Chain A
Amino acid sequence: MSTLQITDLHVSVDTEDGPKQILKGVTLTIDDGETHAIMGPNGSGKSTLAYSIAGHPKYTVTGGSVTLDGEDVLAMSVDERARAGLFLAMQYPVEVPGVSVSNFLRTAKTAIDGEAPKLRHWVKDVNKALQDLNLDPSFGTRSVNEGFSGGEKKRHEIAQLELLDPKVAILDETDSGLDIDALKVVSDGVNRFRAKEGKGVLLITHYTRILRYITPDRVHVFVDGKIADQGGPELADQLEAEGYDKYLTKV
């Protein structure tokens, strides 16, 4: 079972001119096994929502709540959230020079499981996850995200999703900057994750094309820090045809 419940979430970011309100009351529930897409124009606050759920220190929650299976996520530290079952695939994955991918993956897996993975299985699992995402086995020896192409960074995020096996995955524009082949590889990875029992996905995207490979249960239109509209997968088709203009002119 996994339910991510976001209720009336208000978030501000610290800027040079003081705090700036970005999220203005977001309410959204991802029930057991559901995939929700969030679509919205640049600057509407999609990444702010993702980072706030993950606990990035730059963002301050000024109101509302986030729970995972009833547990208060906002009361947890960043790493506690991950260990509780949240995963954020970042829009801009961070370089960690000198730390190899394989060391990073094993350290993360050990932290999440509370014990070191059995070596034999682990090596096999890592190789399979890399292979599934079309990443060369030598990837393990490279420094985390350093010198990776844009596509490699995103595929590396999804390899982590498969290996760390969270309850709920938040994917922040994982599709942006991918060519069509990479998009399919990444979508396959996400679909393998979704095929498992009870996994929730919050799929943040600017474009509709990834929704051709990953069919969401719900689509939310995000404008100016709020959900402006919601519906089924057909809403994505409508956005594809009409764009965000009708929501923007309302503001």
Chain B
Amino acid sequence: MLETKKIESHLNPTGSFDLADHPVPTGREEIWRFTPLKRLRGLHAEAEFAAPTSATEWNTPAGVRIEVVEGDEARALRGVSGLVPNTRFAARVLAEVPSTLLVDVPAEADVSEPIHVRVQGQDAGSAEAAHVVLRFGAHSRSVVVLDHSGHASLAQVVEVVAGDGAQVSVVSLQDWSDDAVHLTHHEASVGRDATYKHVAISFGGDVVRMDSNVHYAGPGGSAELLGLYFADEGQHIEHRLFADHNEPRTKSNVVYKGALQGQGAHTVWVGNVLIRQVAEGIETYEENRNLVLTDGCQADSVPNLEIETGEIEGAGHASATGRFDDEQLFYLRARGIAEAEARRLVVHGFFNDLIRKIGVASLEEKLMATVEDELSKNVLKDVTGDVTEVGV
């Protein structure tokens, strides 16, 4: 029988803005047990945040305000999404950042051109904190791409407020250099009947950990949380999702796909879904698939579904980690396609569906090319010849 009374939620520990409530993690905590703390350069602990060395630039479509704000306006934005920090790094970022990058899309604005924010890290030796607020007015429609590259040790909080009926896509691209460390918390508040798409794409960096959370500010909101990651030798890439169904008739759909190659490549996916007692008639589905391309990799995949109500429309999850499917390779090779080429087709196919779901045309081609680059490092080392066009 389903538990219908209020239960203590372990997925949803009470947060706090007070740093004193956040001791330095030891690695034994549930939410830190997969993360290699020693490689975080103290971002989770006491690292001193220096003045930012990374360069940030953006385009400003008509009608949109994008600005680095300070003082009272910045202070008022801390926690604007309803975020109450549940990690020390998020609490420190909100306590210490002097300024906030604000993207403000007015109500009913229909912004067709994607807002592209480029963060170019310059110095991995200097710890940085950043606070980004993406505020989307009611019934507005827009796409924001946060594009991270270069060298950095970055602790970051991204807050998203999607107003009632807004249609919002937020894409966060982690295409760092090999020396980068990036801890980031994305918190989204999804308004009544709003549609929120969040896409996490992580390729580069020594350690990337993203907590992507969503909660609802009214009934009828819908969240699609997509992720694509590719971990190479020695890389740690961790994605933690939390869909907090705190309103009735809300939806969440989580699909994350990753590939791993090379000694010590480690990926972590933790998908937490909480269906609160008030959240009747919700639908949730989460899926994580990992493709292990070589020996010596580890993919951890942990779906968690916590239910406080019995009145659910649908709830499901799937998690699968595997190597190449021999039957698929046989089928392709039985049509004359050489083994390495067959592997390339299968990996492209694996990511293809997801890339098409992102819905940002300018990104799709770039992502396909990035997948191709990643493949050429290992699986396809000995394949020569033209890049096969993928898709239609």
Binding site for B on A (CB under 8 A): 54-58, 77-79, 81-83, 87-88, 90, 93-100, 102-104, 107-108, 111-112, 140-141, 143-144, 160, 164
Contacts and interface: CB of A to CB of B under 8 A. Distances in A.
B390 A103 contact: yes
B339 interface: yes
Interface residues of B, number: 28
Contacts of A160: 335
A140 B390 CA distance: 12
B383 interface: no
Contact of B330 (A56, A83, A140, A143): A56
B111 interface: no
A97 B331 contact: no
A104 B389 CA distance: 10
A100 B336 contact: no
Contact of A98 (B335, B336, B338, B349): B349
Given A94-B328, A98-B348, A143-B349, A79 B392 contact: no
A75 to B, nearest CB: 16
Nearest to B353: A98
Contacts of A57: 326, 330
A246 B271 CA distance: 60
Nearest to B289: A97
Nearest to B392: A141
B23 interface: no
Given A77-B333, A98-B348, 5 more contacts: A79-B339, A96-B349, A98-B350, A107-B345, A141-B392
Interface in B309-345: 326-328, 330-339, 341-342, 345
Contacts, number: 93
B345 A94 contact: no
Given A96-B345, A103-B388, A103-B389, A111 B334 contact: no
A97 B350 contact: yes
Contact of A96 (B326, B328, B338): B328
Given A57-B326, A141-B392, A96 B334 contact: no
B392 A140 contact: yes
Contacts of B339: 77, 79
10 contacts: A57-B326, A79-B333, A82-B333, A82-B336, A88-B334, A97-B349, A98-B352, A99-B346, A99-B390, A107-B341
Interface centre among A54, A78, A112 (most CB of B within 10 A): A78
Given A107-B341, A107-B345, A100 B335 contact: no
Nearest to B325: A94
A97 B353 contact: yes
B351 interface: yes
A95 B351 CA distance: 15
Given A97-B353, A98-B353, A111 B338 contact: yes
B71 interface: no
B349 A112 contact: no
Contacts of B390: 99-100, 103
A78 B334 CA distance: 6
Given A98-B349, A98-B350, A98-B352, A164 B336 contact: yes
A104 B330 CA distance: 13
A100 B391 CA distance: 6
A34 B95 CA distance: 82
Q: Which 4 A-B pairs have the closest CB atoms?
A: A98-B349, A98-B352, A82-B336, A108-B335
B335 A103 contact: no
B38 to A, nearest CB: 37
A94 B335 contact: no
Contacts of B341: 107, 111
A95 B331 CA distance: 9
A139 to B, nearest CB: 11
Contact of A82 (B335, B353, B388, B389): B335
